Every structure is written in structure tokens, then in C-alpha cells.
Amino acid sequence: MVSFLILALRARVRSVERAEPKPRASGELSLVVNGRRFIVASTLFDRYPDTMLGRMFATSCARNETVQPNEDGDYVIDHNVSSEAFAAILDFYRHGRIQCPPTVSVSELHAACDFFCIPFSEASVHCEDVAKFLHELSNEGARKQFEMFLRLALMPAMARCADLGERQCHVVILADSDTVEWDDDLPPQLGEQYAKVVHNSSLLRFLYHYENRTIAKRILKEKGLKKIKLGIEGFPTFAKRIRRNAAGAKVEVEYHYDLRPYVKASWEKEEQKSRHVDFQYVRTSTTTNVLSTVMTS
């Protein structure tokens, strides 16, 4: 991953072929970000060789094979990062910790840390706005958690739908302690009988949060799924009242509904063709056919 990012950044660094860099003080590097020049010691990045700048400029790396300076001897990092955010990034190499500047949003600093392969965590970043900092940590944690939930809990349910030839799924997430007890003669008639049930209390708590559902929907979309819906709806768990007629036969079953999260998604490729109807093959009853039937009878 780091190697890929280095190649991407190398493509953004302006250089002039066969240009000789102008001499600078011994052991110094000139980095230009968003029009602002930063003069740093060439050994600044040696402590963190696994970060982006460590791979590019650490003395143990073959710097000339990674990126070349321009005709002024500057390494111009042409990436969408502000000079204030980059100054904060350099503090990580100097002090091992980043202080989020008041002019830089927490989300911008998070994006800069991700690009330069610097850990964005409580141990490495300090922000005055604790709520926004925790929000960013939650977003990152939610992505990791849902990737795990998708692999271990949702994919088996989706695969069961696919094994039956279905092209979409409706998965309801129940708590580990939930039980589903439906009447055999009169089950729910609103489509719940077609839903796949997953008992996972951790996933249930995760999907109760709107922001987590938003991240989950984004991940499912990234993985190619369509018609994605995530929400919370009532799901019948057991029959709480049974009505019978005078003869004692069941006529109606009233179910108890619990609010539970659900996931709906489709992987159908030819969705438009599935809805298409070729009317030349649809048989219709004409007036003549109706009259002849009546006269015959």
C-alpha cells in the first residue's frame, strides 16, 4: 500500500529532466507544499521509515530512485493538502505527536495523515475539539468493524439467498437472545417470511447508529451492490394474541414486533430486462372470445 502511494506521489512531484539542483546547506531538504517552503534536516524522517516521507527521504532509502527535485532544488509536493496541515505533519517527525492547528479541520488532518501513512490515533494526534476527533476515530473504526461484520455475519446470509437463485436479499439482524416463534398456520403476511435472520447482538448495536449505517451503505456500494437500504423496522418475533371463531378455528394472529435493523441489497446484473414485458406474447381475452364462451356455455 505504501509503495503504491509513493508512486502516486512521485507522479505529483514536479521535476525537470537533467536539471541540476541548486546547492543548499549540507544535510538540508527543501519541501514546497501549496506554495510554502519548508527547510528540514535530511535526517528528520529516519525514525519513521514506513511512512510516506520516510520512504521518500530517509537516508537509508535510495532517494534519487524515488523522486527528483526541480531546477531550484525543491521537492514540490503537489497534493491536495494545505501548508498548515503539512506543518502539523512535520511535527510528528520532530516530536512524535501532532497538534491539530486551529485553522485545520480534524477531517482534513485525518486525510493528510492517511495520505502520508501516519497513524491517526489518540497516541499520535491531539485535537482541542474532542467531539470531532472522536467522530473521525469512530468513522475509521466503523469501516473496520463493518468489513468484519460483512465477512462473518452478512455474507453467509447473502450467500444463502444466492444459493436459492435469488438476486437480492433482505437480512434482519436480531439480538443473540431473540427468539422467533411464529404460528405455523398463520405466519406474518407482510414479507417477513422471506427475510434472512442473523442473530448478532454486536452487529445490532452497530447498526442502531445512523452514522454507522451511512458508512455501511457506502462500503456495500463500493463492493458493487445496488438498491441498498439500511434502517430499523418492526420485525415480528412471537404471537401475542390469537383470535378464534365460534368453532375454535384460528382466524387471526396478532404478533409482537421488535424494532430491529435490516439490510437490503441487490446484485442483479440485468435488472432492466427483468422488469421488461414483451407484450406480443401476453395473451388477452377479446370481446369475441368472451361472447363465444358465454354462448357455448
Residue 136: its pLDDT value, please? 96
For 34-52, write each residue's pLDDT tens digit: 889 999 998 999 999 999 9
Domain range annotation of the chain: 2-131, 142-274
Q: What is the pTM of this model?
A: 0.74
User: Tell me, which fold does domain 2-131 have in CATH?
Assistant: Potassium Channel Kv1.1; Chain A (3.30.710)
Average pLDDT score, the chain:
83
Q: Three-state SS across the chain? A: CHHHHHHHHHHHECCCCCCCCCCCCCCEEEEEECCEEEEEECCCCCCCCCCHHHHHHCCCCCHHHHCCCCCCCCEEECCCCCHHHHHHHHHHHHHCCEECCCCCCHHHHHHHHHHCCCCCCCCCEECCCHHHHHHHHHHHHHHHHHHHHHHHHHHHHHHHHHHCCCCEEEEEEECCCCCCECCCCCCCCCCHHHCEEEECHHHHHHHCCHHHHHHHHHHHHHCCCEEEEEEEEEEEEEEEEEEECCCCCEEEEEEEEEEEEEEEEECCCCHHHHHCCCHHHCCCCCHHHHHHHHHHC
For 70-101, write each residue's pLDDT tens digit: 888 889 888 889 999 999 999 999 999 999 99
Residue 265: its pLDDT value, please? 97
